[in-house]
Structures are given as C-alpha cells and as structure tokens.
A and B are shown apart, each in its own frame.
Chain A
Amino acid sequence: MRELSHHVLDLLENSLAAGATLVTLRIDEDTEKDLLVIEVQDDGRGMDAEMQKRALDPFFTTRTTRHVGLGLPLLMAAAERCDGGLELESDVGKGTRVKAWFVWEHIDRAPLGDMIGTLLGALLASHSNWDLVFAHRVDGDTFGLDTRELRETLGDVPLSHPAVRQWLEEYLQQGYAELYAKQRA
C-alpha cells in the first residue's frame, strides 16, 4: 500500500465485510505531538481472542475466496516502521476497534494520500445499510461527515445516485481544500 489512505479504505472494507451498520473513522494529525492516528471502530460481528491473534498474522483471513489475509499485518508493519503501533480491540457480537499510530515526521511514513478517493470508495459500497461517521482533525481544525445526516436529508435517494455521488465528491473536495488551506495559512 503506497498511501495510508489505502490502509484506511482497507479498514473500512473490513468493517463492511464484518456486517457493520455504523462505522466511525477518526484521523488525527497532531504536529505538535508529532503524531498521526487512524482509528476505525465498528459494530460488526467482532472477533474472539484467538481470531484477533490470527488477524494480525499475515497468513490469516476470514475470506473464503482466498486463503491469505494481509490487510491488518500490512498496516501494523507500516506503523511499526514509523515508531508507531497498532491496537486491536474486539468483542464478539459487539464490534471491532483498530487504532494505528505513526510518528508524523517519520521519514518512512507514507503520505496520507487520496482521502477523497478512499471516502468515495467506501461510500459507494454496494453494502447499503450502513453509516459512516468521519472526522479528520489537523491540529485545531476538523473536517467531518456523518452519513446519517445525509440520509436524513436525502430520504429514499441513495448515496450512490449519480447526482448525489457528484455532490459528495465536490463536498469532500471543498472540505479538504478548506482543512488544508487553514494549515497553510
């Protein structure tokens, strides 16, 4: 994975594969503490202790289509390479929380990359009965999104509707432009 946002998309896809209906994504960049945190919490089916151990093993996967899983071990390796780490907390029937952190300025830290593509990739998932609460904080400023609020506004019109999709893309572009403009100011 060339960008941290690829890992973020992978985490969101894991949550959807676990049948989550509510996923919370938090990205926190704190240049003062020199820390970048990515945290995904879901209410999916969760994992028991044995499965959690195996989830961090590069040769484990829950999928039946192929027998090697790589997502979480790849993220853990990326975090550890940047003097960070990964925390996995899960309860069967309740959900899973994954938190990865990186030294922001670490020379090996991949850029966050295309968060707009990552969010669109998740929001356009065919898995339709789920919501995303997203917040990206860069020092004092936050950009966020709550699909529950969007769905309330949209009624029966799905998020994947071409016109809504276009609105979403522009909304994300605008939000990110504003978030990063504040950093440059």
Chain B
Amino acid sequence: MAQIKSLEELRRLRERVERDISTRRDTGTTIIVGMGTCGIASGARETMRAILEEVRRRDMDVNVTTVGCIGMCNKEPLVDIEQAGKPRVSYGNITPDMAPRLIEEHLVNGQVVEEWVVGRLQEDE
C-alpha cells in the first residue's frame, strides 16, 4: 500500500493550504448534512456524497460537515447552507439527485431554492 507516499502528499498539501486558511474563515461557505439515525436511514450519506461530487466537479471551495440529529427527522435528509453574512438556510428532503440544482442555484447563482426551504436562521440568533 502506498501509505508512506500518501502521507508525504498530505504533508505537502498542508504547506500549501496553511497559507490560505485565514482568508477562508472570513468568506467561507459551509454545507451541513444531518447524519443522525434518522438522516442515515433516509439517505443522508448518499446526499452528502452527491454534494461532495458536485462541489468537486465545480472545483468549489466549500466546507462540508456532518452533524447528529437536529430534530426534524421527518424532513431528513436535511441540508443547511451557511454563508458568511447571510442567514443560514435549512433545506429538507434533499435526495442525491437534488444536490446539483441546490448547489447551482444557492451557491453559484446566489438564489435560495424557496420550494425546498424548511427553515432559516439569522446569523446573530
């Protein structure tokens, strides 16, 4: 297994990203996927992979993170999008096939996909 080579790769990668990490904190976008039992059983892991795939395809600089049950189990898979300076938007029942449109409209065009929204959270709340 090419493990030693891979760790060396990781070390070089660290040197490269350490330089831009401070700027990211200010302008970052984070996509949060609910990954409790309810989310997993509704396909949240598959939705997460579709999101990762779309983000990679577009070569976008976006954080993707998972959280446990957030309490709207009947609307899983739940995906929240958080962008600096904007209210956090929660989307419900997001299946993998919806990921490309979600990312294109919300992140590329800056348009919230209203029909899929289940909640909003102001930044200062």
CB distance from A166 to the nearest CB of B (A): 7
Are A150 and B35 also in contact (CB < 8 A) when A65-B70, A121-B48 are?
Answer: no
The answer to whether the Cβ of B118 comes within 8 Å of any Cβ in the partner chain is no
Is A30 in the interface zone, CB < 8 Å from B? no
Tell me whether A156 and B16 are in contact (CB under 8 A): no
Cβ–Cβ contact A171 & B6, under 8 A: yes
Whether the pair B2, A121 counts as a contact (CB closer than 8 A) is no
Q: Are A124 and B65 in contact, with the CB atoms below 8 A?
A: yes
Report whether A153 and B14 are in contact in the complex, using a CB–CB cutoff of 8 Å: yes
- Complex Cα–Cα for A65 and B76 (A): 14
Interface residues of B in 32-63 (CB under 8 A from A): 32-33, 35-38, 40-41, 44-46, 48-49, 52, 55-56, 61-63
Q: Distance in Å from the Cβ of A179 to the closest Cβ of chain B?
A: 9
Interface residues of A in 1-47 (CB under 8 A from B): 1, 6, 9-10, 13, 16-17
Q: Are B70 and A13 in contact (CB under 8 A)?
A: no
Nearest-neighbour CB distance to chain B for A139, whole angstroms, equals 16
Q: Would you call A180 an interface residue if the criterion is a C-beta within 8 Å of the partner chain's C-beta atoms? A: no
Q: Give residues 110-163 of A contacting B (CB, 8 Å).
A: 114, 117-118, 120-122, 124-127, 143, 149-150, 153-157, 160-163
Among all A-B residue pairs, the 8 with the closest Cβ atoms? A65-B71, A71-B37, A126-B65, A117-B45, A117-B49, A153-B10, A121-B45, A157-B14
Contact surface of B with A, Cβ cutoff 8 Å: 1-2, 6-7, 9-11, 13-14, 16-18, 21, 32-33, 35-38, 40-41, 44-46, 48-49, 52, 55-56, 61-71, 73
